């Protein structure tokens, strides 16, 4: 099982989109600065804003790529408030 997730930092007012097989560990790593050369080192207050459970790594990476390609904060906010968008993504990238 894999997840696509969106983190939000109030301190930096930024979002981060990623994918992982272990969401709890990945979130802890982002908060602790484990990824020293990562974008997420700009803040320590990352909170999980959105997650979508995918059936495999391939589907998760395709959905992550789609979300990042949108380059839109409004789209990210809509993902968090409209479950039908998640369903469409899962159906579109059902491989």
Enumerate the domain spans of the chain. 2-92
Per-residue pLDDT reduced to its tens digit, 41-52: 999 899 999 999
What's the rounded mean pLDDT across residues 3-28?
96
- In this prediction, residue 36 carries a pLDDT of 86
- In this prediction, residue 33 carries a pLDDT of 84
Per-residue pLDDT reduced to its tens digit, 54-76: 999 999 999 999 999 999 999 99
Residue % of the chain over a pLDDT of 90? 86
2-92 in CATH: which number?
Answer: 3.40.1440
State the DSSP string of 1-43.
-EEEEEEEETTTTEEEEEEES-HHHHHHHHHHT-STTSGGGG-
Q: What's phi and psi for 6, nearest 5 deg? A: -125, 125
Task: Answer yes or no: is pLDDT of 37 > 90.
Answer: no
């Amino acid at each position: 099982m894999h997840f696509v997730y969106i983190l939000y930092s109030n301190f930096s007012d930024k979002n981060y989109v990623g994918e992982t097989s272990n969401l709890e560990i990945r979130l802890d790593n982002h908060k602790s600065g484990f990824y020293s050369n990562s974008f997420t080192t700009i803040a320590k207050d990352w909170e999980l804003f959105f997650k979508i459970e995918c059936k495999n790594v391939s589907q998760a990476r395709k959905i992550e790529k789609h979300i990042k390609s949108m380059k839109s904060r409004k789209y990210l906010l809509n993902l968090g408030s409209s479950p039908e968008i998640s369903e469409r993504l899962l159906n579109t990238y059902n491989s």
